[in-house]
Structure 1
Amino acid sequence: MKKNFILLLFATLFFSGCSTDYEVLKSVEGVVLTADSSAKIVGETITLTVKDNNNSDVTGEAAIFVNGTAIEGNTLTSSEVGDFKIRAVIGTVSDTLTVRFYDGSETNFVKRVLIEDYTGTWCGYCPRVAYGIELAKQHSDHVVAVSIHRPSSNVSSSVYDPYNYDTSELENTLGAEGYPKGFLNRKTQWNFPEPENIAQVIGLTQGVNPKMGLALETSVTGNTMNVNVNVKFSSNFSNLKLVVYVLENGLIYDQHNYTTYYDGFDLLEDFHHNHVLRAVLTPLLGEAINSSETVVNHVYTRSFSVPVPANVASAANIEFVAFVIDADGNAINVREALPNVSQDFEEL
């Protein structure tokens, strides 16, 4: 009887702030379905995990469906090349997850998601998005966050922020006014309330492979930063652009908080601000990559050797983020790196 109820529920569901920039959506308990890999060679095993928004593992309580058919357990394998669509049901239905089994002849890369958090120390509702980022990072280490502080550097202004970075050129393309606002892979708005929509973020680390990976080589010596951004392609692309950020972690400054998060206190004294945007090494909307560089099996490299930004308080706390965007401005894949590292491509 219970199994029939779950199947009926699945069939029914399967087919069926500081500003006012968000449409208020009904809050629901999230179901976060992930796979340990979005692509495996035929005969290998993909393991599925189901969690709630609070990162509690509920895999054992969930019903998992592959191409519409319930399976036993939480692992999947195939002897044939192909894509499989997966959903999990536990009180509600997860987003659809696509995984692929391939014959070993194609190159796939780990898929990461970019969160750009438009925030302000003066903005009492902004801790909501910050808290959502913390939850998302607990779910997956494939989440890359950038905290863009806005909107005024004028110390006399009521919206003064000591870490303000002018991103008006980018914000004007988003169609969302006010703060806070969180955007995923540049162009997708993170649904309100963000901490209850973690599945939307994690879903962008899953599914169809981007066929593009990044690897960074970084160093900070004295007052000089050296960054090599390497991009490898396993398919042909065109009309791509590169964006490279310099961030800073561990900045301490009071944060207003009108939310129930962080125990509901206002002020949050000596709040730790991380992933704070301090400089952009490319144009904010991206630097064009010649199409001759974006072909299968080719590695494109862009190198930078520049001074540490004057607004950086501690060079030891620098972080680099590089991502590639398509012709519509959507981030295809992203990578982050601390200073003095040499990354390999994350090939699957």
Structure 2
Amino acid sequence: MKNFKQCFLLSMLFLGLLISSCSSSGDDSLNPDPEPEPKESRKNSNVSVSSTDAPANYTTKILLEDYTGTWCGWCPGLALEMENAIEQNSNIIGIGIHVGDNMESTYAESLTKKFNVSSYPNAKINRSATWNQNYSSLESYLEKKSNLGIALNASVENEKVKGKIQIGFNSDISESLDYVILLVEDKVKADQKNFYSGNDDFTNHPLYSQPTPLKDYEHANVLRKFATDIFGDIIPEDYTKTGNVCEADFEINLDNYVVDNCYIIAFVLEKGGKNILNVQMVKVGSNQDFD
């Protein structure tokens, strides 16, 4: 009997240790090690301060982003208004962001979600407001004094654009900013629907007498690629000080695009990605200094 009790006690002790061990293992699984802090995917170590002698004044330029598609019969009307605005003021820079056609880029879905684009045609002014296709609504943006400017170098080497962006500041900005660099191709030909054609509600419109589709219609400044994150790489707050010139190198493959029709567009915007502070454009193979 004594041996039986000893065996029983030893068995219970072993079982208790086993249960205790399993419980401990279970507790660990319920309280795993914390996940590592997410990396800042838009922080670009390539950005540096190259000078403390930035120009004192900069020309304010604005960006119009036209969300469009060849299937959209009203879209050539907005494109025409944008063309007229750019002819009236060269400080307006336009981009065509195509959705649902052969010119759609891999970025279109993310951009339309970010900027709540659900109807077409649709154009955004400096990523901060929807354009009403009236030139006068652009004037207040053009009249603002900019506290930063952009210079671009865009040389071509081995079917790539290899360039440098410089961003100069003439006053302190007390927060980090974002900068975006992208490639557009101008004069891309594709048939375009035209709902103005023969439409009695638009007898005075320039497109009324034109056919539908518009054969070999030239699409302006079609978005092709980004050299940065599509919503911008970060310019640290420490860099956004009076007199500083920040710079960064960039590179974009030209693929099969027509090089003579390609341009680099760069802009700086507030943190959060919805207010552009200034923009610059340069033809691939050329340089554009601060202006």
The AA in structure 1 aligned to 2:276 is A
Give the one of 273, 281, 298 matched to 2:219.
Answer: 273
> For residues 256 and 245 of structure 1, what CA distance do their matches in structure 2 show?
27
- Give me the CA root mean square deviation: 1.6
* Within-5 A mapping of 1:252-263: 252-259=189-196, 260-262=205-207, 263=209
> For residues 248 and 263 of structure 2, what CA distance do their matches in structure 1 show?
17
* Within-5 A mapping of 1:237-316: 237=173, 238-259=175-196, 260-262=205-207, 263-308=209-254, 310=255, 312-316=256-260
2:251 is the alignment partner of 1:321: no
Give the one of 187, 201, 204 matched to 2:141.
Answer: 204
Contact 1:115 1:143 in 2 (8 A): yes
Greater Rg over alpha carbons, structure: 2
Contact 1:139 1:202 in 2 (8 A): no
Structure 2: gaps of 5 or more residues: 1-54, 197-204
**Could you say what secondary structure the match of 1:227 adopts?**
strand
> For residues 170 and 306 of structure 1, what CA distance do their matches in structure 2 show?
20
> For residues 87 and 187 of structure 2, what CA distance do their matches in structure 1 show?
19
The residue aligned with 1:163 is: 103
Higher helix share: 2
> For residues 187 and 222 of structure 2, what CA distance do their matches in structure 1 show?
9
The residue aligned with 1:225 is: 161
The residue aligned with 2:289 is: 344
> For residues 180 and 319 of structure 1, what CA distance do their matches in structure 2 show?
23
Contact 1:256 1:266 in 2 (8 A): yes
Contact 1:232 1:299 in 2 (8 A): yes
CA-to-aligned-CA distance 1:95-123 (integer Å, 9 cap, x gap) = xxxxxxxxxxx922100010000000111
The AA in structure 1 aligned to 2:182 is Y
Structure 1: gaps of 5 or more residues: 1-105, 152-160
Query: Which stretch of structure 1 is more off in the superposition, 281-290 or 174-183?
Result: 174-183
Contact 2:226 2:252 in 1 (8 A): no
Q: Please report how far the alpha carbon of residue 168 of structure 1 lies from its aligned counterpart in structure 2 after TM superposition.
A: 2.0
Contact 2:225 2:252 in 1 (8 A): no
The AA in structure 1 aligned to 2:231 is L
Percent identity (aligned):
28
The AA in structure 2 aligned to 1:169 is S
> For residues 167 and 282 of structure 1, what CA distance do their matches in structure 2 show?
15
Q: Please report how far the alpha carbon of residue 264 of structure 1 lies from its aligned counterpart in structure 2 after TM superposition.
A: 4.3
Aligned structure 1 segments of 4 or more residues deviating by more than 4 angstroms: none
The AA in structure 2 aligned to 1:186 is R
**Could you say what secondary structure the match of 1:172 adopts?**
helix
2:136 is the alignment partner of 1:190: no
> For residues 206 and 141 of structure 2, what CA distance do their matches in structure 1 show?
25
> For residues 335 and 319 of structure 1, what CA distance do their matches in structure 2 show?
10
Contact 2:194 2:212 in 1 (8 A): yes
CA-to-aligned-CA distance 1:243-300 (integer Å, 9 cap, x gap) = 1110001211111111244344311111111200000111111111111221110001
Q: Please report how far the alpha carbon of residue 135 of structure 1 lies from its aligned counterpart in structure 2 after TM superposition.
A: 1.2
2:63 is the alignment partner of 1:114: yes
Question: Which structure is higher in RCO with an 8 Å CA cutoff and minimum separation 6?
Answer: 2
Q: TM-score, normalised by structure 1?
A: 0.62
The AA in structure 1 aligned to 2:177 is L
The residue aligned with 1:215 is: 151
> For residues 164 and 342 of structure 1, what CA distance do their matches in structure 2 show?
28
Distance 1:204 1:314, change over 3 A: same
> For residues 110 and 229 of structure 1, what CA distance do their matches in structure 2 show?
16
CA-to-aligned-CA distance 1:200-247 (integer Å, 9 cap, x gap) = 1233211x3111000101111331211211100011122200111100
> For residues 253 and 183 of structure 2, what CA distance do their matches in structure 1 show?
11
Contact 2:93 2:281 in 1 (8 A): yes
The residue aligned with 2:11 is: none
Query: Which stretch of structure 1 is more off in the superposition, 113-122 or 222-231?
Result: 222-231
